[in-house]
Structure 1
Amino acid sequence: MNTTFEDLIAEGAAQPTEGWDFSWFAGRATEERPPWGFSRLLGERMARASAALDLQTGGGEVLAEIPKPPPVLAATEGWPPNVSRARETLAPLGGEVHEVPNDAALPFPDAAFDLVTTRHPTFVPWPEVARVLRPGGTYLAQHVGGPSAAELTEFMMGSCPPSDPADPTFGAEGAKAAAEAAGLTVTDLRTAVRRVEFFDIAAVVLYLRKVIWIVPGFDAERYRERLAALHERIVADGVWTMAHHRFLIEARKL
């Protein structure tokens, strides 16, 4: 593995960013998972569904792990490079991937699905979720909590405003209120804070290129001075840590 700062920056900048495959980070970064096991829950719900929709599926990597797809499986994705990857990834499951901007109306008829899922959405169209769910249908999702990676944002950009717990996508209570306003009944709401570790600056660079909301407009050259400071911290301590905030929300359409 390259060890100089320049080589590590170049390595992180050269990796592809499409999809949500984080296997490249093995040995370079670790993330503790929430205790509820979203992939397991997703697999269980999908196995019982007759028609399911996965929102903002990325490259389809998470959805592709389900052991038994429902008879009807659809997904949406808003970023064109991910759409192509998702179609290839989900084809063996019979999944149909639709290119839809994250904040757009969903191209499905009313009451089309008995299950709607998503993992780490950047926006949730709650009225649309309620519209496409059948009576008795369920929304199951793992969201990113607002304070996630705040330590990294502040290190790179300076102080940032505190997260808003009423935010309907990034705050658990805000999501609950938005779901209820759309006519859904929240049946489960759990939060977790988990430790993330970075072992080299290449991992930080790729992470910031993939997870674009942590440092909006991130560019390795633009943030070179801050990356160099963080590199020195990692070299001195062997690791740099931050916290991820996650929440699980399940809601039912009565």
Structure 2
Amino acid sequence: MPEFDDIVAEGEAEPTEGWDFSWFDGRATEERPPWGYARLAAEALGHAHASLDLQTGGAEVYAEALGRAASVPARVAATEEWPPNLALARERLAPFGGEVANAAGTDPLPFEAETFDLVLARHPYGVPWEEIGRVLAPGGTFLGQLIGWGTNRKLYEFFLGPRGDAHEDHGHEAVIRQRAAEAGLTITRLEEAVTKVEFFDVGAVVYFLRKVLWTVPGFTVAAYRDELRRMHALIEANGSFVSYSRRFLVEATR
């Protein structure tokens, strides 16, 4: 097997822009929730007149869903904040006449009220519930695949040590219901899935932590080299490192 330093260097050198995870092929896997978000998004887009995708990344999933939709909305919009992703998203959405606004996380959305009849969000870092309710037209739909509390707890606790909030992991559904109601939304579908995440080499762990920044905030190879060396030994002994993610499918109407 390649030496520890070589594997880590591979994960450290790979560019992180966009949400294309093909680099992980053969190095890490994550089960997909059973509902098929991209298919559901494509179906919803086929009935929409104006759509907005929040925190679109490089618009990989949004563009895929638009390409599969029975028809493309007359207005296609998205938000993103990271400059490399902004450029990728604008390029990917150009064939659909898409516009991509520079907006972060839970910032106010730069759109007028009641503008969209469909708002999408896949794995947003913070859900701007009030803004979603504001920009949705009456009768409009919000479709989101949200990251559940405690996602990849086994992974981040390996680096950060035990967290004291494990008891809170199972309260997320109630918070989703509350925040949606406060935003004037009626939930029509809410499902949860726990999916297996498996890393087959430490380079994949390095790349994941560089790409999904909030897993271990402030992660650098230099700061966590000792932990990475222990991770490498564990993977060599067991064949992989296993963690688990939690996902919520949320469909709501205004």
TM-score > 0.5, shorter chain as reference: yes
String of CA shifts for 1:34-82, please: whole Å, max 9, x gaps.
0111011011101111100000000111101011331211000122221
TM norm structure 2: 0.95
Moved over 4 A (4+): none
Q: Secondary structure at the match of 1:48?
A: coil
Q: Which moved more, 1:135-144 or 1:93-102?
A: 93-102
CA distance in 2, matches of 1:102, 1:155: 27
2:32 matched to which residue of 1?
A: 33
- Give the drift of 1:25: 0.3
Structure 2 counterpart SS, 1:159: coil
Counterpart CA distance in 1 for 2:177 and 2:246 is 16
Distance (whole Å) between structure 2 residues aligned to residue 53 and residue 238 of structure 1: 41
Question: Partner letter of residue 8 of structure 1?
Answer: I
Superposed counterparts of 1:168-207, under 5 Å: 171-207=172-208
Letter in 2 for 1:17: T
Most deviating of 101-110 and 37-46: 101-110
Aligned residues: 249
Which is helix-richer, 1 or 2? Answer: 2
Q: Secondary structure of the equivalent of 1:62? A: helix
Give the distance between the partners of 1:147 and 1:106, measured in 2 at CA. 27
Aligned residue for 1:103? 106
Q: Distance in 2 between matches of 1:78 and 1:161?
A: 31
5 Å matches for 1:44-55?
Answer: 44-55=43-54
Identity %: 51
Alignment of 1:109-188 (within 5 A): 109-163=112-166, 164=168, 171-188=172-189
Letter in 1 for 2:37: F
Q: Could you list the runs of 5+ residues in structure 1 that have no partner in the other structure?
A: none
User: How big is the shift at 1:161?
Assistant: 2.5
Give the unaligned 5+ runs of structure 2.
none
Asked if 2 retains the 8 angstrom alpha-carbon contact of 1:19 and 1:82, the reply is yes
* CA displacement 1:71-103 (0-9 Å, x = unmatched): 211000122221111111111122110111222
User: Is 1:92 the counterpart of 2:95 in the alignment?
Assistant: yes
The aligned residue for residue 59 of structure 1 is 58
Q: For residues 103 and 158 of structure 1, what CA distance do their matches in structure 2 show? A: 28
Report the TM-score when normalising by structure 1.
0.95
8 Å CA contact 2:150–2:169 kept in 1: the answer is no
Q: What is the RMSD computed on CA atoms of the aligned residues? A: 1.3
Distance 2:93 2:165 in 1: 38
Whether the 8 Å CA contact 1:166–1:175 is kept in 2: the answer is no
Name the SS of the counterpart of 2:46 in structure 1.
helix
- Matched with 2:210 is 209
**Using the alignment, how far apart are the partners of 1:93 and 1:3 within structure 2?**
44
3-state SS of paired residue (1:64): helix
